[in-house]
Structure 1
Amino acid sequence: MTRQATSNTTTDGETRAISPIIGVLLLVALTVCLAAVIAVGVGAWTLESPGSTATFELSADGDQSSISIEHVAGDAVDVEALSVTVAVNGTELAEQPPVPYAGASGFNGTPEGPFNSGADSEWTVGERASLSVADTNSPPLARGDSVTVTLAIDGRRVATLEATAT
């Protein structure tokens, strides 16, 4: 039995080499895609700490125009790094409480608890902070109003609390 050798030659005598070229191109494309995926994954890693974790409860008294926030669980909060934003029925108060403070425009008297500038600057579990919204602040706080308080530390929101004024 005679065996005939077949060759990969074209009619003009050149040898074909398409398969190896396609294989090399596919390997290069796969390597580039893998490198891009790894670069994106490494870029997504952050070295920042996740920040403070704490739980709070909000209550509001429409008759007294007062707002009270209790720290019920979690990490202690540095009040000097804290910002408080109060909204009544979805509208932010014209004057926001500059915590800590001892008398501020838009608020009656001095706040109680850690919001008071004379108190310890660390707000720990079990402590209650309260403030009284003045009639000169807008919108006024009344019974039945929806109150939203946002607490942020160094610009990072820690909690958004909602309650209905009683």
Structure 2
Amino acid sequence: MMYHIQSINSLLQNELSAIETYQQALDKFRKQTALGEMDFLMSTFEDHKAAVFSLRGKIQQLGGTSAQDSGTWGTLAKIVMASANCMGKQTALKVLREGELTGSEEYEKALLDHELPSDIRSLIENKLLPAQQRHMRTLDQLVNAVMA
């Protein structure tokens, strides 16, 4: 049981990192972003906030204490995103996509655990992982549009 709490907390920290990174992107590009891009950034930011809420709920159900910050990965993500923001929108979008890819891989890795509680498995399979994949597809489109 403790292993599952740690595993879910790791996923939670990824989501907290995503919130911080998208917040940076929103702050940076608010004035220079097309409406569709801004809608996507806000929508994705909200998706990650919802994921944090869901994961915290699962940790509480298991009797655990949820992570309050994004940890080392979050710090690294902030540094990388700050650098990307200096280089421009396309680089920042690529960094966001890499973050989504990492999150997607972490969810897929969690699903390999055959002892993962079924409600958490269902949350990942039906909500969290599809959201990550949707975010990656949209980021690919945005990166390509910026390049065009």
Smaller-chain TM-score bracket: under 0.3
The structure in which a higher percent of residues are helix is 2
Highest RCO, 1 vs 2 (Cα 8 Å, sep ≥ 6)? 2
TM-score (norm 1): 0.22
The structure in which a higher percent of residues are strand is 1
Q: Of the two, which has the highest radius of gyration?
A: 1
TM-score (norm 2): 0.23
